[in-house]
Amino acid sequence: MKIVIKNLGALKQAEFSLGDMTIICGRNNTGKTYATYALFGFLTYWRECLPINVSERMIDQLLTDGTVQVDITEYSKNAPSILDSGCVAYAKRLPVIFAAPAERFKESQFIVTVNADDAHPSHKYERRMRAPNAELFSIIKAEASNELLVTLLVENAKTRIPRDIIKRTICEALKDIVFGHLFPTPFIASAERTGAAIFRKDLNFARNRLLEEMTHTDKDVNPLELLFKVYQDYALPVKINVDFTRQLEALAKKKSFVAIQYPEVLNDFVDIIGGEYTVTRNDELYYVPKGKHIKLTMDESSSAVRSLLDIGFYLRHMAKPGDLLIVDEPELNLHPENQRRVARLFARLVNIGVKVFITTHSDYIIKELNTLIMLSHDKPHLKRIAQEEGYKPEELISSDRIRVYIAEEALIRLEGGQRRTRCQTLRPADIDPERGVEASSFDVTIETMNRIQEEIVWGME
């Protein structure tokens, strides 16, 4: 999947493709977060934006005969144009995604293209719509079929199912069948996650007070409008993080595929934070340091514990194969050694089927990934080094699974332009299969510091 961005924040024109691990690095205010938030917004709202429709004739046939077959082939054939129209619709949502004035996005574009070979229907699909006391209708696609079979499971005369619900449900099924395998389910840990962890209770109280005020307000006032004013000044990823921290008690009752199939990954995470998170029955969140009989609130815990809260709960309770874990600046508040461990954790996640997307300023994370790339080759001395230094085979990763982009100014040819223009973009970084990622923006800074220190030490000679 390739994403093209135009006139979005600092980015004049840029493109990037998603790999199993995707990294954007660069200086501050160069567009990294704009690209990240726009991607997250699209993966969150693509179903609402794609213009797939079914005819009223099909709904009539279903209600009359009790069954109808929908040909999926025409939707697959038109997938590129459907996706183009969906991207135009999504671009109009960007002010909501960023909680910013629409004026800033009037020329913004967000374009998604997929390989023609990938634009095929998923192998099989089944969904059943239920009412409290009965199943209403089923939607089924068999393994090798190009037909979607919709069947009423109750007599229409006895249970009136609104046409718009039937139509919307069939359209959602078609979107999932044609596009669902192309777009991973995203989870994001924004750079504001540390604050959300501290103030989760205050955010609950603020909402509860607002709900109480609704009961006393004028009946002509829209209560939903009042409710959403609580979050209207925050970008979508921040809202998602806030809502996530407010649901930790309910989430704690679930187990992810990581917890069930790969508990050793969670053990590695426990080593990184030096303990575990726990949620009590009365919705109190604590951090329990490893080997100690104390419970610390988020206020009492370190900033590193707070910054990894979202990721920890996601891994233990929510993660599913094929997901996209998006982390804005994973190095937040982490010691360099823990930044190295987080890099190894991300590589481990990729190897068990979770895609990873990060923005980073951390030279430690990039260099540790380079080590994992270099150690991934089948050579005797590399196996010896990996064993001596404590690297596990499941942490190693090949270079072809990683894509890295540098947010910087560069000379590019804008669409329709004859000459190249210097503007803010994303430049693909070179990744050597033997030595890893070339992150020049970090290297220049480190080399400058080394040069200055050498002059200080040896300048008198």
Residue 186 domain-assigned? no
The neighbour count for residue 115, using CB atoms within 10 Å, is 9
Residue 442 domain-assigned? no
- In this structure, the answer to whether residues 211 and 168 fall within a common structural domain is no
Distances (CA, A) of 203 to 93, 97, 239, 246: 25, 20, 11, 8
- In this structure, the answer to whether residues 211 and 259 fall within a common structural domain is yes
Nearest to 192 by CA among 145, 152, 242, 232: 242
Residue 430 domain-assigned? no
- In this structure, the answer to whether residues 202 and 272 fall within a common structural domain is yes
Residue 55 domain-assigned? yes
As a whole number, mean pLDDT of residues 74-98 equals 93
- DSSP result, 330-363: TTTT--HHHHHHHHHHHHHHHHHT-EEEEEE--H
Choosing from 179, 205, 221, the residue where a domain stops is 179
For residues 307 and 194, the answer to whether their CB atoms sit within 8 Å is yes
**Residue 164 belongs to what domain range?**
51-81+114-179
Q: Convert the pLDDT of each residue in 135-168 to its tens digit.
A: 788 999 988 888 999 998 876 555 577 888 889 9
pLDDT on residue 88: 96
- In this structure, the answer to whether residues 76 and 135 fall within a common structural domain is yes
- In this structure, the answer to whether residues 63 and 129 fall within a common structural domain is yes
Query: What are phi and psi for residue 141, nearest 5 degrees?
Result: -120, 120
Q: Is the pLDDT of residue 81 over 70?
A: yes
pLDDT on residue 210: 53
Q: Is the pLDDT of residue 128 over 80?
A: yes
Residue with tokens 């009136």: 160
- For the entire predicted model, the pTM comes to 0.88
- In this structure, the answer to whether residues 175 and 210 fall within a common structural domain is no
- In this structure, the answer to whether residues 174 and 289 fall within a common structural domain is no
Q: Is the pLDDT of residue 430 over 50?
A: yes
| pLDDT > 70: percent of the chain | 88
Residue with tokens 């910087």: 408
Choosing from 295, 318, 341, the residue where a domain stops is 318
pLDDT mean across residues, the chain: 87
Confidence of residue 21 (pLDDT cuts 50, 70, 90): very high
- In this structure, the answer to whether residues 223 and 289 fall within a common structural domain is yes
Q: Provide the domain count of the chain.
A: 2
Q: Convert the pLDDT of each residue in 31-52 to its tens digit.
A: 999 999 999 999 999 999 999 9
Choosing from 263, 297, 318, the residue where a domain stops is 318
Residue 153 domain-assigned? yes
Q: Convert the pLDDT of each residue in 48-71 to its tens digit.
A: 999 999 999 999 898 888 899 999
- In this structure, the answer to whether residues 144 and 215 fall within a common structural domain is no
- In this structure, the answer to whether residues 217 and 160 fall within a common structural domain is no
Q: Convert the pLDDT of each residue in 169-200 to its tens digit.
A: 999 999 999 999 999 999 999 887 776 665 65
Residue 35 domain-assigned? no
Distances (CA, A) of 344 to 256, 272, 396, 400: 20, 11, 8, 17
Confidence of residue 218 (pLDDT cuts 50, 70, 90): low
